[in-house]
């Protein structure tokens, strides 16, 4: 067991980070990039733990320091997880100030900024100043989906860590070995999750999540005429909302428990005086995150739907390889026979357009309704 265990299918990245820790003085700014679900923040967290660890080899995974970093309670590792859709300049300035202080007991003062692409332009400029003139013991770990999400001036001052989409086999192995999932379920869900590790784990271990995904993939079958198509749109949006609710509740629960413990909850579950403000702040943050999770869940549902038509397209074009949606084999083959690649491409375009509309704040139900009507067009 070591801090690197949580990274699935990222061996080259782990090797590079290990070497950086061993070399002693790390670069003072790092940019972790990789597609959603590849584990960029998990990689940054493991790296932070290894930098603080004093065992040999560093990043042992069982000393107090490693535990604290992995649980998010280490005094010298500040984790920034923007709850809303953007992160402002005022918060960033405060963060820069805190980051400039000396570590209180750890080796380094580390700031782990997840979703750093949510920093507003002004916030990014404040961040740039901090990275340009780094205090000697401060290390910044920024995470974004791709390097282009960061100002080029920031990017050029960071060491780049690029995670790949984890291979299906690596995800399936992790599900079997770590989560005790049976081999067949692991293979099917690893494929269905399309490289998203936590999504794969969720699908493999939570029957309701699987059912909600099936609900999304039932949409093409329901497009028999206009009435059912509109109804199918409603079902897809509802499935995404239910998924978002489940994800939010799970996140909230573990966060709240960790916060209560950190603030000194008594064995009987009582909270010490003066901690109500911090708990309220956490609640507010969780509320604003819920909006984001909802949007992400709908986008994920649309990506699942796109995987259906990509499978169909692959069959129509005779491309080799297994489909993403193995259990739907017969249905996919029938859909491939009944249509043309051109029509399938048009449908994929319609899904991408719907994603853009949802991202631009169009009412989700309206956007998905017009999508289902476009999907019916031959």
Instruction: List interacting residues with Zn ion (CB under 5 A).
Output: 53, 55, 60, 63, 66
Name the strand (E) or helix (H) holding 365: helix 364-376
Q: Which is nearer to Zn ion, 3 or 175 (CB)?
A: 3
For 347, other C-beta atoms within 10 Å of its C-beta total 24
Q: Which is nearer to Zn ion, 63 or 251 (CB)?
A: 63
Nearest CA to 2 among 62, 65, 47, 43? 62
Closest approach of Zn ion to the CB of residue 112, in Å: 17
Closest approach of Zn ion to the CB of residue 13, in Å: 19
Are β-strands 109-113 and 77-80 bridged in parallel, bridged antiparallel, or unpaired?
parallel
Closest approach of Zn ion to the CB of residue 57, in Å: 9
Backbone angles phi and psi of 119, in degrees to 5: -65, 135
Q: Which is nearer to Zn ion, 70 or 298 (CB)?
A: 70
Q: Which is nearer to Zn ion, 66 or 168 (CB)?
A: 66
What letter would DSSP give residue 102? P
Whole-angstrom distance, CA of residue 187 vs CA of residue 315: 20
Backbone angles phi and psi of 274, in degrees to 5: 80, 10
Q: Which is nearer to Zn ion, 55 or 265 (CB)?
A: 55
* Cβ proximity of 164 and 10 under 8 Å: yes
Closest approach of Zn ion to the CB of residue 65, in Å: 5
* Cβ proximity of 325 and 308 under 8 Å: yes
Nearest CA to 32 among 144, 131, 152, 154? 144
Closest approach of Zn ion to the CB of residue 24, in Å: 16
Q: Which is nearer to Zn ion, 36 or 61 (CB)?
A: 61
Q: Which is nearer to Zn ion, 67 or 346 (CB)?
A: 67
Closest approach of Zn ion to the CB of residue 48, in Å: 11
Closest approach of Zn ion to the CB of residue 53, in Å: 3
> What tokens appear for 134 in the block?
């780094």
Listed in order, strand segments (DSSP E) in the chain are 29-33, 77-80, 109-113, 138-144, 159-162
């Amino acid at each position: 067991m070591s801090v690197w265990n949580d990274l699935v299918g990222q061996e080259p990245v782990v090797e590079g980070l290990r070497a950086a820790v061993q070399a002693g003085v790390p670069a003072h700014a790092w940019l972790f990039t990789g597609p959603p679900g590849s584990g960029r923040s998990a990689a940054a967290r493991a790296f932070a733990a290894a930098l603080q660890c004093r065992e040999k080899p560093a990043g042992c995974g069982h000393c107090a320091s490693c535990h604290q970093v992995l649980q998010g309670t280490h005094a010298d590792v500040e984790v920034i997880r923007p709850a809303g859709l953007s992160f402002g300049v005022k918060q960033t300035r405060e963060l820069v100030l805190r980051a400039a202080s000396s570590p209180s007991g750890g080796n380094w003062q580390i700031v782990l900024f997840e979703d750093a692409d949510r920093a507003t332009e002004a916030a990014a400029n404040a961040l740039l100043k901090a990275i340009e003139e780094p205090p000697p013991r401060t290390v910044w770990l920024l995470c974004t989906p791709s390097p282009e999400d960061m100002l080029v001036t920031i990017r050029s001052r960071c060491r780049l860590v690029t995670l790949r989409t984890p291979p299906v086999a690596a995800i399936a192995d992790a599900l079997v070995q770590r989560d005790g999932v049976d081999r067949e379920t692991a293979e099917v869900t690893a494929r269905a999750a399309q490289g998203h590790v936590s999504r794969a784990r969720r699908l493999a271990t939570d029957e309701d999540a699987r059912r909600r995904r099936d609900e999304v993939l039932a949409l093409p079958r329901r497009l028999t005429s206009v009435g059912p198509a509109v109804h199918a749109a409603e079902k897809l949006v509802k499935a995404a909302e239910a998924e978002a609710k489940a994800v939010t509740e799970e996140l909230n629960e573990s966060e709240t428990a960790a916060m209560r413990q950190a603030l000194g909850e008594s064995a009987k579950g009582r909270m010490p005086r003066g901690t109500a403000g911090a708990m309220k702040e956490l609640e507010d943050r969780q509320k604003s995150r819920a909006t984001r999770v909802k949007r992400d869940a709908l986008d994920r549902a649309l990506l699942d739907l796109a995987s259906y038509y990509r499978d169909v397209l692959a069959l129509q074009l005779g491309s080799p390889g297994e489909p993403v949606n193995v259990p739907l084999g017969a249905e996919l083959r029938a859909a491939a026979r009944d249509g043309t690649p051109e029509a399938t491409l048009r449908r994929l375009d319609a899904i991408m357009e719907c994603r853009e509309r949802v991202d631009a704040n169009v009412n989700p139900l309206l956007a998905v309704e017009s999508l289902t009507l476009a999907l019916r067009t031959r």
